Structure 1
Amino acid sequence: MKLQPDKSNAPTINAHGPGWIEVNGEKHTQSVVVSSLDGVASWTWTPKHFNELSAQAFEELAQDGVELVLLGCGKKLQFPPASLLRPLISKGIGLESMDTLAACRTYNILASEGRKVFAALLIES
């Protein structure tokens, strides 16, 4: 089998535990967006819980160049109402909803493949 190096220098989600996620050695205890786009690493995301999601929260994620947003909903899988997703839909950006730990794992795989992806992770305490 021929191994090939990762196609990306994107930030990596290194570890996680109850109420925290570590991105490139930096521990986050509040909801965070991790980006594989060049020049953008991560930033604190406004919603703290699934019921705080709004169209404005998704507007923050509707940036040029993003192919896919992985929504980490917390401890359990939930689906946001379609009406909140209009900012993503209008730009042709896909959304996959999953629990936060699954979103962390999926982000690392897609980012290592060179995909342009955001992981919007709700961190519940």
Structure 2
Amino acid sequence: MKLLPDASNRHSITGYGPGWVSVNGERFTSSLYISPQKGTSIWQCPGFDGLSAEHFDVFADMQPELIVFGSGDRIRFPHPRCLQNLYRLRIGVETMDTQAACRTFNFLAGEGRRVIAALLV
């Protein structure tokens, strides 16, 4: 699916499909995270079954109010131990499939929210 972002100088998800996500027209085929203010980075995680607290802790210093976690082609919730440091810092985490996370991220980023999309591709 191709998404058309509002006119903005911020980073947004411009498309997605099976095995890929496009950010500002650049296609990614590996897991990534995106912040409207800081841009896109490859998320060094081995996939859902290998997730640990360290994979989510990298977001704490970015001080988002919310992390939208895209768990792949279906919704799967990470173990609560993976998220406890974020919760301690009062950072919310919403879990959904990656395609829904892409749409939700663009909506929240368009509102100017401090949001990060952490996407398993």
2:94 counterpart of 1:96 = yes
The CA deviation string for residues 76-101 of structure 1, in whole angstroms up to 9 with x for no partner, is: 00111111112211211000000000
- Equivalent residue runs for 1:45-60 within 5 Å: 45-60=43-58
The CA deviation string for residues 46-98 of structure 1, in whole angstroms up to 9 with x for no partner, is: 12421111100011111243100000000100111111112211211000000
The alignment partner of 1:63 has SS state of: helix
Q: Which residue of 1 aligns with 2:67?
A: 69
TM-score (norm 2): 0.89
Any unmatched runs of 5+ in structure 2?
Answer: 1-5
Q: Using the TM superposition, give the Cα deviation of residue 10 of structure 1 relative to its aligned residue in structure 2, in angstroms.
A: 2.5
Structure 2 Cα separation of the partners of residues 90 and 9 of structure 1: 32
Structure 2 Cα separation of the partners of residues 71 and 59 of structure 1: 13
TM-score (norm 1): 0.86
2:24 counterpart of 1:29 = no
Q: Any runs of at least 4 consecutive aligned residues in structure 1 with deviations exceeding 4 A, and if so which?
A: none
* Structure number with larger C-alpha Rg: 1
Seen in structure 2, the aligned counterparts of structure 1 residues 23 and 64 have a Cα distance that, compared at 3 Å, is closer
RCO comparison, higher one (Cα < 8 Å, 6+):
1
Any unmatched runs of 5+ in structure 1?
Answer: 1-5
Preserved CA contact (<8 Å) 1:48 1:122: no
The CA deviation string for residues 10-50 of structure 1, in whole angstroms up to 9 with x for no partner, is: 211001111111000111110000102x3x10100012421
The amino acid across from 1:54 in the alignment is: S
Seen in structure 2, the aligned counterparts of structure 1 residues 116 and 13 have a Cα distance that, compared at 3 Å, is same
Structure 2 Cα separation of the partners of residues 46 and 101 of structure 1: 20
Please report the RMSD computed on the Cα atoms of aligned residues, expressed in angstroms: 1.6
Structure 1 Cα separation of the partners of residues 110 and 49 of structure 2: 31
Percent identity of paired positions between Structure 1 and Structure 2: 45
